[in-house]
Amino acid sequence: MNAPTHQGQRTAHLDTAGTGRMPAAVQSVLADCTARDDRFGTHALEEELGAVLHTGIHERLGGLLGVPAGRTALAAGAADAFHAYVSRLDLGPRDRIWTTPHEGVAHLTTLYGLRERTRCRLEVVPLRADGDLDLEWMLEHIDEDVALVSVVHVSAVCGTVNPVEAVGRLLAPHRALYAVDASHAVGRLPVDAARIGCDLLTADGWRFLRGPQGIGFAYAGPRSAEAFSAPPAPAAVAALHTALGHHTAAMSLPHPELLPRLRSTVARAPGIELLAAGRVQAGIVGFRHGEVPAALIRRALARRGIVVRKTVAQEHPLHPAGREAPTALVASVHYDNTAEDIDRLGTALREALHEIVREERKFAAVSAIRVLAAAGAAPVGRPPVRQDPYHRPEPVRRGHLTLHTTY
């Protein structure tokens, strides 16, 4: 649960899309297993957790993704699994790979490396005017020279839900391998890799699943050979196993849909602009202020017990939001949030903007007075001081002792 702040209030953690707050049970398992690893060694812990490491975790991942347990694998994160898979592809100069404007910089780095190594062409699927992927463009340009298509399920920038199942049906008759980054979808939306029709699905375990950092997972389809790195530490695996069980139990309970309330609350704040998203969004709202830097807003909200994330354009260099503003803020909601959290965000956001604008105006006024004083002009509202042309100012008296040496 969200912890109390130094003022005794409940922290409104609105950054589950960045780093989810681990439930108490997950924290307990992680701490206990880490302590035993430190005392008895990794091999002893692996023997003790054998059923969890070899079968239990994969059964829960298979149930989460709607695939056989034998097709799942563990990795340090989605980007690590994607790199391990893509870096082994045998492509050539005549091949094309497709990505989208929602792709994160880690995946893009892997794709750029593949392009440099194989001399294949990298193309970006355009967005429509409403912010959705242009499926008509894909249908028109698909051919057998398209070897790989990489699509983000839910955008980390603005929460756009991409039609991954429709893309899978479009690609099914063709040669292209299909990779989906579901890092911001698993734990927030139902994800069925079989229905999506992808060859690779990767995700992080520390976002909406609220597991520990440094662990992710992947599904490799029948056309894909498993080529992933060594699994994470057993303590992290045990904690993710617990987080998956906690998630399954929590999702069986009714939860209100808070995203519309979050969007309307943020949009009402003075000077705030929502980042353009597609027709369908899930759990994430991106926004910015036309004049106030995102870093100042984030810090002001943190002082009031509200946690949101600042994002920079370099994290998603192909997304059009980066051309509108180099920095922005991202707020996200999950089932552990409440309507009160969002209302507190609205109040804190208005207070923070008022405070920042007031301080900036005060700073600008002081700076203007200093500039005028340096230029010899009188401050506004004060008559200029007339200078006597025959007056000689007294020399400045130094405030230190001067020693004279006598020969």
What is each CA distance from 296 to 194, 284, 336, 345, 356, in whole angstroms? 44, 20, 26, 15, 8
Per residue in 232-275, pLDDT (tens digit) is: 999 999 999 999 999 999 988 888 899 999 999 999 999 999 99
pLDDT band (50, 70, 90) for residue 6:
very low
Give me the pLDDT at residue 376, please: 63
Per residue in 124-176, pLDDT (tens digit) is: 999 999 999 999 999 999 999 999 999 999 999 999 999 999 999 999 999 99
DSSP 297-312: HHHHHHHTTEE-EEEE
CA 74 to chain CA centroid, Å, is 21
d(CA 22, CA 2) in angstroms, rounded, equals 9
* pTM value surpassing 0.75: yes
Q: Using the predicted structure, report yes or no on whether residue 381 has a pLDDT greater than 60.
A: no
d(CA 145, CA 96) in angstroms, rounded, equals 6
Give me the pLDDT at residue 44, please: 96
Strand, coil or helix: 10: strand
d(CA 302, CA 216) in angstroms, rounded, equals 28
Per residue in 288-332, pLDDT (tens digit) is: 998 899 999 999 999 999 999 999 989 999 998 877 778 999 999
Strand, coil or helix: 346: helix
Give me the pLDDT at residue 363, please: 60
3-state helix, strand, coil split of the chain in percent (to 5) is 40, 15, 45
Give me the pLDDT at residue 252, please: 84
* More confident site: 391 or 81: 81
Minimum mean pLDDT range among 149-163, 196-210, 236-250, 390-404: 390-404
Is residue 92 within 8 Å of 120, Cβ to Cβ?
A: yes
Give me the pLDDT at residue 215, please: 96
Q: Using the predicted structure, report yes or no on whether residue 382 has a pLDDT greater than 60.
A: no
Class of residue 43 by CB neighbours under 10 A (exposed 0-12, middle 13-18, buried 19+): exposed
Q: Using the predicted structure, report yes or no on whether residue 390 has a pLDDT greater than 50.
A: no
Average pLDDT of the chain is 89
Q: Using the predicted structure, report yes or no on whether residue 208 has a pLDDT greater than 60.
A: yes
DSSP H helical ranges for 41-149: 42-48, 50-51, 57-65, 78-86, 105-118, 135-141
Q: Using the predicted structure, report yes or no on whether residue 104 has a pLDDT greater than 90.
A: yes
pLDDT band (50, 70, 90) for residue 406:
very low
pLDDT band (50, 70, 90) for residue 407:
very low
Minimum mean pLDDT range among 4-18, 72-86, 100-114, 253-267: 4-18
Class of residue 189 by CB neighbours under 10 A (exposed 0-12, middle 13-18, buried 19+): middle
Is residue 126 within 8 Å of 280, Cβ to Cβ?
A: no
Tokens of 50: 């054998």
With tokens 């499926």, the residue in question is 135
Q: Using the predicted structure, report yes or no on whether residue 5 has a pLDDT greater than 60.
A: no
Q: What is the mean pLDDT of residues 212-229?
A: 84
First to last CA, the chain: 82
pLDDT band (50, 70, 90) for residue 230:
confident
Give me the pLDDT at residue 231, please: 82
Q: Using the predicted structure, report yes or no on whether residue 391 has a pLDDT greater than 70.
A: no
SS (H, E, C) 135-201: HHHHHHHCCCCEEEEEEECECCCCCEECCHHHHHHHHCCCCCEEEEECCCCECCECCCHHHHCCCEE
